[in-house]
């Protein structure tokens, strides 16, 4: 019995994200073929969530491929890593030249580069697409960041842009770039997400421990912040979280153990940036803060023996300080995004990607976890100057940081005096001061390297010429064979 090709796309993986994305595609007029390794989940899905829709199911990879219109489009919504490679291996025998495999998971971008090249060598196209927005985004409109084989874009574009979130009638989805560009941009998105969350948590701790405010009062502050420069999804949900009451009427968040989990995308961002020599200091501190939070028992023991400041409560003008804290949070967010775009710029050079930075800001304006009004300003900056060297060179952000920096410094100083850790807010300020300093003390550092390891140095008057000095008169004149600033 022959099987008619009726489906526009197949989705493999019927966990929450996969199911919601399928329902979203169905709502937008596309016929989707659903498949899952545990095939009983297909029948359950069709009998329940997908009942009354145009969604069809398959009980084998072969059946799934036969139900697809050409060029076949198969989207994987499975765990990153070995599972993706295993499914690709199973799917390829049932595909023909020009067919497309899409990975919508959080794959590491070097894997996507490898898979794109391997499948293109077989005459197939591969798309690695970041999908952000969680369960709700997948169902009603995520931010989507596709990259890989450009030949595939015309075929997946109508589906992706239809199901993605829209802001001002523009889809939060566009082509990112070749090979692993889509998953790279999603990785940086997740790194910025780590930074945003850490910044908000530090502001929360200052309000809770430094200003001794109740969770209801903190909720009111986040509500107010969400009406201005800090208007964003994460500030909005923080307002809701701190106000949420447990059955006994107490704030539920106050009962949650202070140990944060992570899935690795923040770490990937930091490692990639370190490999490229890009100082994403804020994301790094956000990752390390999660690592420190995991040392709960050790921290409890340390809290009993390590001294801090004697006065742990704020004694100044609370209303003024809350305003200053909001400005410090805003300034730090600017640094976080500036660092993220620096990392993307360097990766584009290394991988020969032509990234549309304004388009990326638009993709992040809706549907995703880091969506905020703030991204509209980033998009304008790159629209004005597509070759913008750094967000900090854009007049809007220069003025914003000039306006907020005194409040920012006040918050960092006050937090230090209160003994409240602000690793992300503080490192953002340190980066800003370092970035605007034309003469850093790395001259001494380079002299130290030459002193003990003959690593050489350059003179201001002769950049590019590497010199070694026999600092003690006892060493030799032979310099190290390699040099890295």
Q: Tell me which H or E stretch contains 178.
A: strand 177-178
Annotated binding site for NADP(+): 13-18, 36-38, 78-80, 106
Q: Any bridge partners for residue 56, and if so which?
A: 33
193 is catalytic: yes
Distance CA 287, CA 279 (A): 14
Q: How many residues does the chain have?
A: 485
Catalytic residue among 67, 73, 193, 333: 193
Annotated binding site for substrate: 106, 132-134, 189-190, 194, 263, 290, 449, 455
Catalogue the long-range contacts made by 270-277 (C-beta closer than 8 Å, 24 or more residues apart). Answer: 270/191, 272/109, 272/184, 272/187, 272/343, 272/347, 273/343, 273/346, 276/343, 276/346, 276/347, 276/350, 277/346
Nearest to 181 by CA among 399, 347, 401, 410: 347
Catalytic residue among 186, 202, 285, 333: 186
The dihedral region occupied by 124, where left means phi > 0, alpha psi between -120 and 50, and beta the remainder, is beta
Nearest to 392 by CA among 383, 402, 384: 402
Annotated binding site: 13-18, 36-38, 78-80, 106, 132-134, 189-190, 194, 263, 290, 449, 455
168: DSSP letter:
T
Contact 185, 130 (CB under 8 A): yes
Cβ atoms within 10 Å, residue 222? 24
186 is catalytic: yes
For 306, the token pair is: 């390590």
For 43, the token pair is: 């029948």
Backbone angles phi, psi at 282, to 5 degrees: -70, -45
Distance CA 412, CA 345 (A): 29
What residues are annotated to the active site? 186, 193
């Amino acid at each position: 019995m022959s099987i008619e090709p009726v489906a526009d796309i197949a989705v493999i993986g019927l966990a929450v994200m996969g199911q919601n994305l399928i329902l979203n595609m169905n709502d937008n007029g596309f016929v989707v073929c659903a498949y899952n390794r545990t095939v009983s989940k297909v029948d359950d899905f069709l009998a329940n969530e997908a009942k009354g829709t145009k969604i069809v199911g398959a009980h084998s990879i072969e059946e799934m491929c036969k139900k697809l219109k050409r060029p076949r489009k198969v989207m994987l919504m499975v765990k990153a890593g070995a599972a993706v490679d295993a499914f690709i291996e199973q799917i390829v025998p049932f595909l023909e030249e020009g067919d497309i495999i899409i990975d919508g998971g959080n794959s590491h971008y070097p894997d996507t580069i490898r898979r794109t090249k391997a499948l293109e060598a077989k005459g197939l196209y591969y798309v690695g697409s970041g999908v952000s927005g969680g369960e709700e985004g997948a169902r009603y409109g995520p931010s989507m960041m596709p990259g890989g084989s450009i030949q595939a874009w015309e075929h997946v574009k109508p589906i992706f842009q239809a199901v993605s979130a829209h802001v001002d009638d523009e889809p939060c989805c566009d082509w990112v770039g070749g090979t692993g560009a889509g998953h790279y941009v999603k990785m940086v998105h997740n790194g910025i997400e780590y930074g945003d969350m850490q910044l908000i948590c530090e502001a929360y701790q200052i309000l809770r421990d430094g200003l001794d405010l109740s969770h209801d009062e903190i909720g009111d502050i986040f509500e107010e912040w969400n009406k201005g420069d800090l208007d964003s999804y994460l500030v909005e949900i923080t307002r809701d979280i701190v106000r949420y009451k447990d059955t006994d009427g107490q704030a539920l968040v106050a009962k949650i153990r202070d140990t944060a989990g992570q899935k690795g995308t923040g770490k990937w961002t930091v490692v990639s940036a370190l490999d490229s020599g890009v100082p994403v200091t804020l994301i790094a501190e956000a990752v390390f803060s999660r690592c420190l939070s995991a040392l709960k028992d050790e921290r409890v023991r340390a809290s009993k023996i390590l001294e801090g400041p004697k006065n742990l409560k704020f004694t100044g003008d609370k209303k003024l300080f809350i305003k200053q804290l909001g400005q410090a949070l805003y300034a730090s967010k600017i640094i976080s995004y500036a660092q993220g775009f620096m990392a993307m710029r360097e990766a584009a050079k290394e991988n020969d990607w032509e990234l549309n930075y304004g388009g990326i800001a638009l993709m992040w304006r809706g549907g995703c976890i880091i969506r905020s009004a703030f991204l509209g300003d980033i998009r304008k900056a790159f629209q004005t100057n597509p070759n913008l060297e750094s967000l900090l060179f854009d007049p809007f952000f220069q003025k914003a940081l000039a306006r907020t920096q005194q409040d920012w410094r006040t918050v960092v100083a006050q937090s230090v005096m209160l003994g409240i850790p602000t690793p992300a807010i503080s490192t953002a300020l340190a980066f800003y001061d370092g970035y605007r300093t034309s003469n850093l003390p790395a001259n001494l550092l380079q002299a130290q390297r030459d002193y003990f390891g003959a690593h050489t140095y350059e003179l201001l008057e002769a950049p590019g010429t590497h010199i070694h000095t026999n600092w003690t008169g006892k060493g030799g004149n032979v310099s190290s064979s390699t040099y890295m600033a």
